[in-house]
Amino acid sequence: MPLESNARIAKELARRGYNAEREAVTLLASAADSTAVLDAAVERAPDDALRITADHVRAAVDAGDGGSRSAARSGGGSEGVSRSEGAVDPTPVSTPESRGEAGESPVETEGSAGHPVGGSTGEPADRVPADDGTDAADDEPADTPDRDPNHRSLEVGNDMTGRSTGTGEYADFVRTFRDRYERLSKILRGRVNHRPAEAIANMPGGSDAAMIGLVNDVRSTKSGHWLIELEDTTGTFPALVMKDKGLADVVDEILMDECVAVEGTLADDSGILFADSLHFPDVPRTHQPGAADRHVQAALISDVHVGSDEFMADAWHSFTDWLHSPEAEPVEYLLLAGDMVEGVGVYPNQDEELDIVDIYDQYESFSEHLKEVPADTEIVMIPGNHDAVRLAEPQPGFNDEIRDIMDVHDAQIVSNPATVSVEGVDVLMYHGVSLDEVIAELPEEKASYDEPHKAMYQLLKKRHVAPQFGGHTRVAPEERDYLVIENVPDVFHTGHVHKLGWGKYHNVLAVNSGCWQAQTDFQKSVNINPDSGYAPILDLDTLQMTVRKFA
């Protein structure tokens, strides 16, 4: 097999159990006899090495194993060849043979602005503009990135892996909801002069009053008004939203168990509050997102579904191929929002569409695919509902057995949800199971599969990734409600619905990242057309995004 492309080299190394530095792969690609140098480099690597480095390759080249057809050695010293100087012959990122399709580099595709990607190649780039309204993509970065790990910073927050305390007892649920109430009511407290339920019941009839509580019940009355029951730590209290108050639009957005504030006037007998306004915790419009202080990018993906008959291996290879290209040099981070593998027994009759039936084998295969990603890429992964962790959220970040299988890349494996601060940009990662629920319950224009980012806006508004309890999304009680969005993120990254969509809500960039799985039989039966083989690439310095298509 000729080893003419970077991805082929990465794949061949992966086959032999090695991950490789980008520079090592580039050096190998530029060698006159890549196969011979690769053999020699592997030979030279220490027995316990997991990674082939540029030094291993250089040593092999210097020893004359395979020679060089370019200036692969001209960089000299331990620094070697700087890729950004173009000293190495540019190796084709992919060839028609290696991909089995037209071998052009991936195109940027349209997205956002309320419209999903068309799905065809060759469309113009669509970008989320920088905050000042300029399209920073047109400005070339002042200096090329150097992929120096010393410039990187990545900090994980809200990771509950290894911290699960819940036993499923009633008392655990009480504690979770108390924590939810405390942290979300704090956000609302500055905006309304609220009183506890108990105190409101004792206020004189006709007084102005406000209450903050978790939604216990929402019902429409015979006469077309709405009755909302709120609960706080002292009790429950009913609020009546009259149909002529112009609040229908707000009532439409209410989900059970979320935290809201209601302001209004007490009835004469102080038994009910007539609502004048309703507030969600929401994201302040003044939110100022952070930014990296150099040109560096993150690829935001999810739903790889390795092990499924429909896993799109070719698209994945094209993606990892591209990651090895000079164009992808700034992509130093890869964020993976769950559903690494297809799993087993997730849905009825799922086994009929499995390519790999054993869950561990699926992770082994996923891990082989992950090895194709340049070794010096920082990876963060959270689990999804197809992964081998408990289904109830928050989901801990895998057990040791699965971690061992996936350790090829030294990835940060954290819980679902979790936050990562990447060079000053705060990213909230959440797999997205509650999006199904938000889409099912809210009117089409507020949340739909075609515009998944709008459903994400709702979660930001509620400052909670899965407000409803006892519905479609399973929630496990913990001492703390890890699903509360306590700090406003700069970027909200989800997957799960297999639809690509992105947009900004009060300065927060919401991105749903599509998938690497073609349409399944189930999806066909319910008319879900997945957006497969896209990689949204986020500029961490401008928060502008470009979507690349690999299928």
Give the binding site for Zn ion (CB under 5 A).
339, 384-385, 496
Task: With CA atoms as reference, report the closest residue to 378 among 297, 432, 495.
Answer: 297
* In the complex, least distance from residue 402 CB atom to Fe ion, rounded to whole angstroms: 17
Which residue lies nearer to Zn ion by CB, 147 or 496? 496
**246: CB partners within 8 A, 6+ apart:** none
Examine residue 386 and tell whether it contacts ligand D5M (CB under 6 A): yes
Q: Is 58 helix (H, G, I), strand (E, B) or coil?
A: helix
Token output for 448: 């739909």
Alpha helices in 165-247 (DSSP H): 170-189, 197-201
**For residues 471-490, b (16+ Cβ closer than 10 Å) or e, as one string?**
bebebbbbebbbbbbbebbb
Of the two residues 185 and 395, which places its CB atom closer to Zn ion in the complex?
A: 395
Q: Encoding tokens for residue 90?
A: 């540019």
Q: How many separate helices (H) and strands (E) can be counted in the chain?
A: 14, 20
Under rule CB under 6 A, residue 387 binds ligand D5M: no
Residue list 340-359, contact with ligand D5M (CB under 6 A): 347
User: What is the nearest approach in angstroms of Fe ion to the Cβ of residue 336?
Assistant: 12
Total residues in contact with ligand D5M, by rule CB under 6 A: 12
Nearer to ligand D5M, 297 or 302 (CB): 302
Complex with ligand D5M: residue 347 or 360, whichever CB lies closer: 347
Pairing of strands 226-232, 418-422: unpaired
CB of 315 to Zn ion, least distance (A): 18
Of 353, 410, 436, 486, the one binding ligand D5M by CB under 6 A: 436
Task: Supply the minimum distance, in Å, between the C-beta of residue 336 and ligand D5M.
Answer: 14
Taking the complex as a whole, the smallest distance from the CB of residue 438 to Zn ion amounts, in Å, to: 14
CB 264 within 8 A of CB 276: yes
- The closest of 5, 443, 24, 538 to 249, measured between CA atoms, is 443
**Residue with Cβ nearer Fe ion (347 or 360):** 347
Select 240 or 344, whichever has its Cβ closest to Zn ion.
344
Q: Where are the beta strands (DSSP E) in 68-207?
A: 108-109, 154-157
Which residues from 213-272 bind ligand D5M, rule CB under 6 A?
A: none
Kindly list the distances between the CA atom of residue 83 and the CA atoms of 24, 71, 145, 324, in Å, as whole numbers in the listed order: 11, 11, 10, 11
Integer Cα distance of 92 and 368 in angstroms:
22
Instruction: Work out whether 490 is an interface residue with Fe ion (CB under 5 A).
Output: no
Residue nearest to ligand D5M (CB): 347
Q: Are 530 and 515 in contact (CB under 8 A)?
A: yes
Query: Which residues, at least 6 apart from 404, have a Cβ–Cβ distance to it below 8 Å?
Result: none
- Near Fe ion by CB under 5 A: residue from 12, 310, 339, 451: 339
Could you give the maximum distance between any two Cα atoms of the chain, in Å? 95
Q: Which lies closer to Zn ion via its Cβ, residue 385 or residue 542? A: 385
In a 3-state reduction of DSSP, which class is residue 445? coil
Rule CB under 6 A: choose which of 21, 159, 263, 303 binds ligand D5M: 303
Smaller CB separation from Fe ion, 257 or 339 = 339
DSSP summary character for residue 94? -
Nearer to Zn ion, 37 or 341 (CB): 341
CB of 436 to Zn ion, least distance (A): 9
Least distance (Å) between residue 342 CB and Fe ion: 9
**Which of Zn ion, Fe ion, ligand D5M, none interacts with 497 (beta carbon under 5 to 8 A by kind)?**
ligand D5M
Helix axes 6-15, 34-44, angle to 10 degrees: 40
Site for Fe ion, residues 203 to 262, rule: CB under 5 A: none
Instruction: Give the C-alpha separation, 394 to 483, whole Å.
Output: 7
176 binds, among Fe ion, Zn ion, ligand D5M, none (CB under 5 to 8 A by kind): none
Dihedrals φ, ψ of 61, to 5°?
-65, -45
**Shortest separation between residue 299's beta carbon and ligand D5M, angstroms:** 19
Q: Is residue 463 within 8 Å of residue 155, measured between CB atoms?
A: no
Q: What is the DSSP string of 493-515?
A: EE-SS--EEEEEETTEEEEEE-B
Q: Which stretch binds ligand D5M (CB under 6 A): 29-37, 200-208, 408-416, 493-501?
A: 493-501
| Token pair in block for residue 482 | 């890890």
Closest by CA position to 411, among listed 372, 362, 368, 375: 375
In the complex with ligand D5M, the residue whose CB is nearer, 213 or 533, is 533
Residue 22 C-beta: closest distance to ligand D5M, Å: 30
Considering only residues 125 to 154 of the shown chain, the ones binding Fe ion according to CB under 5 A are none
Residue among 375, 321, 296, 367 nearest 22 (CA): 375
Distance in Å, CB of 110 to Fe ion, minimum: 23
Q: Least distance to ligand D5M from the beta carbon of 446, Å? A: 17
Strand pairing partners for 532? 515
d(CA 266, CA 209): 7
Which of 302, 385, 513, 532 forms a contact with ligand D5M (CB under 6 A)? 385
Picked from ligand D5M, Zn ion, Fe ion, none, the partner binding residue 436 (CB below 5 to 8 A depending on kind) is ligand D5M
Q: Which stretch binds Fe ion (CB under 5 A): 74-82, 108-116, 300-308, 405-413?
A: 300-308
Residue 8 touches which member of Zn ion, ligand D5M, Fe ion, none, C-beta under 5-8 Å by kind: none
Least distance between Zn ion and beta carbon 11 (Å): 27
Binding site for Fe ion (CB under 5 A): 303, 339
Interface with ligand D5M (CB under 6 A): 303, 339, 347, 385-386, 436, 496-498, 522-523, 528
